[in-house]
Amino acid sequence: MTTSDIHLLHDVLNELQFQNSDISHSLVNQFTYVKKLNTAVKIDTEAIANLSNIMKDKMIQSHEKFQQVTRDMLWLNITLFGQSKLHTAIRQLEFTLFQLVQQIDDLFNIIQCAMHGRLSIKLVNPTVLQNILRNVMLRLPEGYELIAGTNIENIHLYYDMTAVSIVANTHCINLLLHIPLKSANRHFTLR
């Protein structure tokens, strides 16, 4: 160790001794003050101790209550979050069920329409009907053609002119479309 290190260590020890004497002096004054206060006012130390114990018990009880409230709030948050997920799942199931009911109602209405001999636009949309009619047009014998042609502008006429029959079994439902044809001098119905 160098002399500067020794001087520094000596200064630190002097400072600690000075602070230690301040602390002990301060404690002596406090004890003296309490002792003087006790003799002058005659404080009931048993009452202070009793009050101190009551305060300590109340603080412990309030801390326990606080912990219980915290646990209850945590449980409530978890429960509400779980119920929120459950509520969302139930709403999604309700929406899916509502869509299924609507699709079944649409299917029922389509079948009712077909049973009355009419072609429903929900069953065969105009583009599909146009493709069906084009395929039929390719298979027709020479000299025969469809009454309204196959232009998309005229497809709506076939919904009124086409007669529908239903043939069904346990595996499928077949629709028979009766489409009017024309030739140079006669009109026919394709079945």
* pTM beyond 0.85: no
171-174: long-range contacts, CB 8 A cutoff, minimum separation 24: 173/111
User: How does pLDDT run across 56-107, given as a tens digit for each residue?
Assistant: 888 888 888 888 888 888 888 777 777 777 778 888 999 999 999 999 998 8
**Burial (CB count within 10 angstroms: exposed 0-12, middle 13-18, buried 19+), residue 155:** buried
Residue 97: its pLDDT value, please? Answer: 92
Confidence of residue 150 (pLDDT cuts 50, 70, 90): confident
Average pLDDT in the chain: 76
Residue 135 has pLDDT above 80, yes or no: yes
Confidence of residue 24 (pLDDT cuts 50, 70, 90): very low
Residues with Cβ < 8 Å from 154, sequence gap 6 or more? Answer: 148
